Structure formats: structure tokens, C-alpha cells
Amino acid sequence: MYQFAELDWTGSHDTVVVGIGAADAVETGLDTLFNGRVKSLIQSADISTKTGEVSIVPTFEGNIKRVLFVGLGQRNDSSVENLRNWFGKVAKEIKGRGFTDVAVALDTFEPGVASLFAEAYEMATYEHPTYKSAPKSATPDVTITLLGDVNEADVEAGAAYGRGVNVARTLTMMPANILDAVALADYAVDLAERRGFSHRIIEKEEMEALGMGALLAVNQGSTIPPKLIVLEYNGAGDDAPIAVVGKGVTFDTGGYSIKPKDGIVGMKGDMGGAATVLGLFETLATTKPAVNVLGVIPATDNMISGDAFKPDDVITAMNGKTIEVLNTDAEGRLVLADAVTFAKTYEPKAIIDVATLTGGVLVALGTEVTGCLTNDDSLYEALETASRATNELVWQMPYFDVFIKQVRKSEVADLNNSPGRYGHMIFGGAFVGEFVGDTPWLHLDIAGTSERSAANYLGPKGPTGVMVRTLASMLEGWKR
């Protein structure tokens, strides 16, 4: 899709994208396309220099049909996030208007923004899959020529960030009768074989042999067997990996602690953590950071039947700890418990788990901020640094002994899976922490950020693919 060339105002393109600030001197070649009238077009408001506003103006001369101007104001608002959003806005204009031959004068925005443009373009032009009987109209192919001093590897990396997000979006959007645990495992195997990752699928019989009583309990009510999906990216030889564990509950009824009718709609997205892991691996295939990464996804649905697990059951996790089940709708932490324990058999440098775990994180932080727990402040600092670059906001929640004691409070077992309503987000994370031990650990609760209720410059309403870019950025900068 991308071509590369030097900036040449005498070249031939249907559309050229240009950033223009209020105080900018107009480049001679650009002004020539408008017979020297760019300043007068600005004065008449036919070209807007207001921050983020788009103006599309036909040219008067030359082989360029039109110029799409993006206003940069006084250029003091050209932050990474603003540029990403403006590039997303440009991408939507390109797609919406059916432009097929577009050149982007990147240096008129800021130096070194090629990766940002590619990332934004992939995300902004994405469309969710649908299952309507009438086929959608085909989108015309577009050729984008990036003008200026452009590093092609940066463009590939930016596009890979966007593609990883879109993989996670697509998987999260798929209905559970199409994407069940078996289909999710098949997708992971296909990804691994296409992209050159090692892979392993642990079946129910092996889970039983390993003693994964927590994951198996959640699966008891289902007719679809569970899968433990294991992917390995090797970028650092024999070095210990960073384990990324994603909750893969393909549909969550709540079990016998059943969800209300309004709350059960949308539970196909309860595998958002698994989608993040798979999107991350899609990105790693291109960015190739110098680290080893272990991906672990416990995949199952949480259904109701005569065989389903129940409140008051006592189950035994892979590490031998017993758990009193007080709430079958607190199932995500149960599947993560066994997945984290399994990940520890690889002796990882760190464990990061990602999950649509609790409604409590929505109450605490809303829909724009991912809640985090950690036992290692430097690990959180690395995440926070990466999140600032991607603008995927994170916030560290307290992880005190008072919460841990509540998780350990049971008269009949070592742990309980639901100490109560207050502090629920922290209890969910603290429960997973009981299976981490001394390994450096981050818990990311994306229940509030994995979906958006309205479209924005970088994508449609619905699944967001949150944390794919942040984790990819964090792993690229890994120095521990």
C-alpha cells in the first residue's frame, strides 16, 4: 500500500496531504499550485489553519488535483496524541471520499512521524466484521505515497501496531457461537504458523493431569472443551521470557450467579484479554523486540448446566491452593490462576495478565483508564512510560495487605474468589496475585477500556484492542 518518494510539488497525485500552521511560511512549490493564492485562501477561510481542521481544496495548476490541508494552529499543540488523532481524521477522509492516489507530505507536520501516520491509518480505517446477508460494497484500493525523508522500517512498525490492534478488535467482536474456545485455539495456531512462533495447545486431559482445577471448574457447565493456548516469541535466545497471560472466556453467563438480561449482552467480549495477547503477537512478528515473550491464554466459556460449578463449591488450583467459590461470575480470576501458575513453570522474568475482569474498575476509573495492580513499582513505571507514548491511560490501584487478607478469608479453603462488592477490582487482582508469588507482576483490568460506546478518530464504536500498542511499546523498550 505504501510507496516512498521525495517531496516534489510538480509530481502527479490525485490528492496531497499537507500540514499547515497559522504562522507558517507557504512553501513556493505549494503556493504555485494555487497561483500564489494560499495566503488569500487562508484569509477567506477556504483553507483553515485551526488546530485539527481539514480543508480540501482543488488546485489551479499542475498534476496534483487537490490538497487536503490539516490545520496545525500555532504548532504548539502538535503532541504525539494530537498528531495521531489528526492522521486518523485524514485516514477517514481518504477512505470516506474514496481517494485512491494519495501522497502525504509528512515533513509539513513534524519530522519523524511516519510510524505515527501508519499506525493511525490502520486503526482509523478499520471496520468491524458483520454477518449481514447483503455483502458490503468493496472499498477501493488506495496507494499512499509518503513524501520526504522516511524510514521504511518505521512505517512497517507503525502499521504493525495498528494491525495488532485490529486483530484484537476483530476477535473481540466475533460472536461466541463462531469464536468458541476451539476456534480461538485454531486462530492462535494459524497465527503462530503464519508468523513463525512456537505454539502448543493443552487439551482438557492434560489439564486434568496438571491439576488445573480452577480452569476446569469454570468449564464444567460447557459442552465445548477448554483450551490452554501457549505461544512463544523468541527474540533473545536462551533468556527467560516475559509472560503475557490473557483471559479467554469466550462467553460469560455468570454461571449460577447468573448475570441480569442487560448485563449478559456483550459477554462475547469477555475474551478481550486473550484478544490483546493475540494482537500483541501479531505486532511482535514485525517489530521483533530483543526479548522472549510467552503468551498464555486460558480459553473456555462459563455456562450453566447440571454439571456446572456452583457457589459453595471448593476447588483446587494447579498450585495446590484450595478455593471457596462464593461467586461463579468471578470466573476470570479462576482461569487466570491456573494460567499464571502454568506460566511460572517457564520461570519468567515477569508476568503481565490482561483481563476484562471486574465491573468494579468501571466504577473506579470509568471507560478511559485501565486499572493496574503490581508487586513491582519499576515494572509499573515501564508500563506507564509506554502508555504515555500510546495514550492508553493507566492507573495504579493500591495493593495492600488488607485486601490480600480478605481474599484469604475462608473457613473451608485457602482462598475465596469473591470477598465482596467494595474494592472489587482490587480483590480480583489480589486473587490472581496469590498465584504469582515473588515474580514481578502486573495485573491489567481492561473491563472499562476494552470497548467504546462511540466512534472516534482512531476507530469505530465497539472493541478497542486496548493495551496491544502499550505492551508492544513496553516490550520494545525492555531493559530489565
Helix (H, G, I), strand (E, B) or coil at 347: coil
Give residue 61's pLDDT. Answer: 86
Give residue 327's pLDDT. Answer: 98
pLDDT in tens, 214-228: 999 999 999 999 999
Please name each of the domains of the chain with its CATH number. Answer: 2-148 (3.40.220.10), 162-476 (3.40.630.10)
Give residue 165's pLDDT. Answer: 98
Res. 76 pLDDT band, cuts 50 70 90: confident
pLDDT in tens, 147-156: 998 999 999 9
What is the maximum span of the chain, computed from C-alpha positions, in angstroms? 84
The set of cell numbers assigned to 347 is 520461570
Contact between 161 and 170 under an 8 Å Cβ cutoff? The reply is no
Res. 43 pLDDT band, cuts 50 70 90: very high
Q: What is the mean pLDDT of residues 170-184?
A: 98
Residue positions annotated with a catalytic role: 259, 333
- Order across the sheet with 143-147: list the strands: 2-5, 143-147, 101-105, 13-20, 64-71, 54-58
Beta strands at 370-374 and 394-396: parallel, antiparallel or unpaired = parallel
pLDDT at residue 479 is higher than 80: no
AA identity, residue 299:
A
DSSP-derived secondary structure letter, 366: T
pLDDT in tens, 387-396: 999 999 999 9
Q: What is the mean pLDDT of residues 90-109?
A: 95
pLDDT in tens, 256-313: 999 999 999 999 999 999 999 999 999 999 999 999 999 999 999 999 999 999 999 9
The set of cell numbers assigned to 356 is 476484562
Rounded to the nearest integer, the mean pLDDT of the chain is: 96
Res. 35 pLDDT band, cuts 50 70 90: very high
pLDDT in tens, 340-352: 999 999 999 999 9
pTM: 0.97
Give residue 480's pLDDT. Answer: 60
Distance in angstroms (rounded) separating the CA atoms of residues 120 and 110:
15
Give me the residues paired with residue 316 across strands: 322
pLDDT at residue 174 is higher than 80: yes
DSSP-derived secondary structure letter, 459: B
Distance in angstroms (rounded) separating the CA atoms of residues 208 and 205:
5
pLDDT at residue 335 is higher than 70: yes
> Residue 394 to residues 11, 221, 244, 374: CA-CA distances in angstroms?
45, 35, 17, 12
DSSP-derived secondary structure letter, 350: E
pLDDT in tens, 9-22: 999 999 999 999 99
Give residue 234's pLDDT. Answer: 98
Phi then psi for 301, rounded to 5 degrees? -105, 170
As a dihedral over the C-alpha atoms of residue 326, residue 329, residue 330, residue 334, rounded to 10 degrees, the angle is 100
Give residue 307's pLDDT. Answer: 97
Distance in angstroms (rounded) separating the CA atoms of residues 211 and 316:
8
